[in-house]
Every structure is written in structure tokens, then in C-alpha cells.
């Protein structure tokens, strides 16, 4: 994310800033419980039906803020070994007048590889749209250098146009998992859709590559000491490469029955510039509900401005045997398959 001061100067600035903002944060959840955002085949893990919501707030400083809302659900067809997932996301940049919305439908087939190891093969299609409201932008003729003021309206013809773009997107994904580890890959934007606001030009959304993994193990198998009997370490990592932008995220959590607490580290690289994020992640589970609250501290280098991020999420698991399964509140589980 390139640092810039107010005021914003029309569509030229928006065309530079908008794609960077949309890619740099909108597709990167902090909560490990919402990793189906970066790998849709994870919708099919353990063939359980789930639904959830995730609210994210980004503060870039200099008065620039963004909000993201994410709603998802999946239906598992156990007898047929597949799941159907739905993801609905919206991103709002009020200072730039941008609204970015997407609807994704995914299919994940569950194939058994061994006694406790499973393979998920997934394919997804999406419809996305972007709308830019010119009333939130400041054009050159609105600036009065003599008075040092900004006029309320502009006579620039572009100020009367409300540009928008719609495009179709698709990707493929795969995940291997058991009760101890998970490995996944996702290739997004396979059709390299045209995301330009100008229909006479072409700006392709380049293919993005994602790798993700996780491990989990019992650190108190004999129920001794001050830790609860069901205490697990859960570590996850994922990396995304998209054109000149790369992001690496790692988390370490201590799961103690219904409560978990952990830390997050993230590296963002854009061209020759990079920055590091650090944060905390928490989870509280009760019955079939899972509540997430996460926060990263703002971090900046000379040319990259990484925001502070706050996430609040709620997930509901429709598995009626959840409370009775082996490995109380264990994240990676296959014992109900």
C-alpha cells in the first residue's frame, strides 16, 4: 500500500490506489477459522455444514479507512462425499467512494486416501463488481489556490459519471488433511478477468497462487500440570503471490478447551518494499458457536503503509455430535467421517 496524503485527485489516483487496497487486505483473513477465504476447498473439511460472518476494519492512517464484511456458508452432502460453499464479500472505501462486492460458489469433493487422511479437490466460480462514486473524489477545478479552499462541486465531465465494472472469476483448489496436519493450494483468477473501469481498455487480474498449511498436536496428553487436559498447539501458515505483491501469514495458538489465545506475524511485500505486521488472535467456543476477535498493530516502512486491522467473527457448526467427539474442541478432526 503506497502512502499518500489527502486530498485525492480524481480518477488517476483512484485507479492506482483501489487495486492495491483491494488486493492487499480484502482477501487475507487473520482468523485461521476463516481460511476458506484463501482456499475454498477448506469448505469441505470433515464434511460438516457451517455458516459464519466476519467483520474487518482497516485503519491506514491519514484519515483513510476501509471496512470489509464477509458472510459464508457450506452444505455437506455426506452420502455423496462433497460440499457446496457460498462466500459473499463486500469492501467499502468511503473516502474514495469505492464499493467492491463478490459472490463465490465453490464445490469440494472429499476423497479418502488412507485410514485417517483425506484429499479435497475444489473448483469455484465467482461474480464480482466494483462501483466508484465520484462524489467522494476531489477534482482539480474544485481547488481554489488563492483562498486555500475546496469548492463543493465540480464541472469536470468525469464528476457526473459513476463508473462500474463487473467480471466473472474462477479458480481451482486442493487440500490434504488428517488429525495432525493440513496442506492446501489454491490457484485463483484462472481466466484473468478484465477489471478495468474503462470498457475500451483491458486491465487483467493476474493469476494468484496460494499455499497454506497447519499442524496440531496435544501438548498435555497425560493431563498433568496447570494446563487443562485438552490442550493443543495449533500453528498455521499461508502465503499468497499475486503479480508484484506477496503476503506471508503465520499464527501460533494455544487451544485450551473452549478458549484459545495466540499470536500472528505477517510479512507484506510490494515490489522492492516490505513491511511486517504483528498481532494477537483469540477464540472462544461455546456449544456449536465459535467467536473470534483479532487485532494487528499498525506497522510501516518508508513506502509501505500497513494498516491496523480489527476482526470480529462468529461461526456456527451444524454438527449435532460436536460436543461428544473425541479431541474436545480440536481444530483438525476426522473422527466423525
Pairing of strands 231-242, 245-256: antiparallel
7 preceded by a cis bond (ω within 30 of 0): yes
Q: How is residue 280 written as a grid cell?
A: 494477537
pLDDT tens, residue by residue, 8-60: 333 443 443 444 444 444 455 666 678 898 899 999 998 889 999 999 988 87
Mean pLDDT lowest for which of 142-151, 164-173, 208-217, 288-297? 142-151
| Predicted local distance difference test score (pLDDT) of residue 40 | 94
Phi-psi region of 116 (alpha: psi -120 to 50; beta: other; left: phi over 0): alpha
Q: Let me know: does 58 contact 68? Beta carbons within 8 Å.
A: yes
| Predicted local distance difference test score (pLDDT) of residue 245 | 84
pLDDT tens, residue by residue, 85-144: 999 999 887 666 778 899 999 999 999 998 889 999 999 999 998 887 666 565 555 455
Average of per-residue pLDDT across 248-263 = 90
Q: Let me know: does 11 contact 17? Beta carbons within 8 Å.
A: no
CA dist., res. 56 & res. 69, Å (int): 6
CA dist., res. 108 & res. 116, Å (int): 18
Q: Exposed, middle or buried by CB within 10 Å (0-12, 13-18, 19+), for 174?
A: middle
The secondary structure of residue 5, as a DSSP letter, is P
Q: Let me know: does 142 contact 154? Beta carbons within 8 Å.
A: yes
3-class DSSP state of 229: coil
Domains of the chain: 10-324 (2.40.160.40)
| Predicted local distance difference test score (pLDDT) of residue 107 | 97
Amino acid at each position: 500500500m503506497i502512502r499518500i496524503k489527502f486530498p485525492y485527485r480524481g480518477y488517476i489516483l483512484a485507479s492506482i490506489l483501489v487495486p492495491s487496497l483491494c488486493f492487499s487486505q480484502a482477501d487475507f483473513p487473520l482468523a485461521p477459522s476463516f481460511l476458506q477465504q484463501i482456499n475454498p476447498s477448506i469448505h469441505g473439511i470433515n464434511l460438516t455444514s457451517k455458516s459464519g460472518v466476519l467483520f474487518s476494519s482497516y485503519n491506514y492512517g491519514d484519515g483513510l479507512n476501509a471496512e470489509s464484511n464477509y458472510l459464508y456458508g457450506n452444505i455437506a452432502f455426506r452420502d455423496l462425499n462433497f460440499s457446496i460453499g457460498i462466500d459473499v464479500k463486500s469492501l467499502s472505501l468511503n473516502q474514495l467512494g469505492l464499493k467492491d462486492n463478490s459472490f463465490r460458489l465453490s464445490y469440494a469433493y472429499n476423497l479418502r486416501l488412507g485410514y485417517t487422511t483425506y484429499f479435497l479437490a475444489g473448483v469455484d466460480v465467482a461474480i464480482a463488481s466494483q462501483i466508484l462514486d465520484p462524489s467522494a473524489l476531489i477534482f482539480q477545478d474544485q481547488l481554489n489556490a488563492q483562498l486555500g479552499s475546496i469548492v463543493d462541486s465540480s464541472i469536470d465531465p468525469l464528476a457526473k459519471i459513476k463508473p462500474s465494472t463487473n467480471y466473472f472469476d474462477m479458480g481451482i483448489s486442493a487440500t490434504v488433511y488428517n488429525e495432525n496436519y493440513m496442506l492446501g493450494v489454491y490457484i485463483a483468477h484462472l481466466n484473468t478477468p478484465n477489471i478495468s473501469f474503462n470498457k475500451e481498455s483491458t486491465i487483467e487480474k493476474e493469476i494468484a497462487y496460494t499455499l497454506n498449511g497447519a499442524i496440531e498436536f496435544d501438548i498435555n496428553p497425560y493431563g498433568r500440570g496447570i494446563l487443562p487436559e485438552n490442550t493443543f498447539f495449533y500453528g498455521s501458515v499461508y502465503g499468497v503471490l499475486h503479480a508484484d505483491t506477496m503476503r506471508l501469514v503465520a499464527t501460533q495458538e494455544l487451544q485450551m478447551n473452549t478458549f484459545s489465545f495466540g499470536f500472528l506475524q505477517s510479512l507484506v511485500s510490494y515490489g522492492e518494499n516490505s513491511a511486517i505486521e504483528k498481532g494477537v488472535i483469540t477464540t472462544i467456543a461455546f456449544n456449536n458457536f465459535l467467536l473470534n476477535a483479532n487485532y494487528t498493530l499498525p506497522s510501516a516502512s518508508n513506502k509501505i503503509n500497513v494498516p491496523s486491522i480489527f476482526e470480529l467473527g462468529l461461526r456456527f457448526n451444524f454438527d449435532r455430535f460436536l460436543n461428544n467427539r473425541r479431541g474436545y474442541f480440536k481444530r483438525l478432526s476426522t473422527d466423525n467421517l
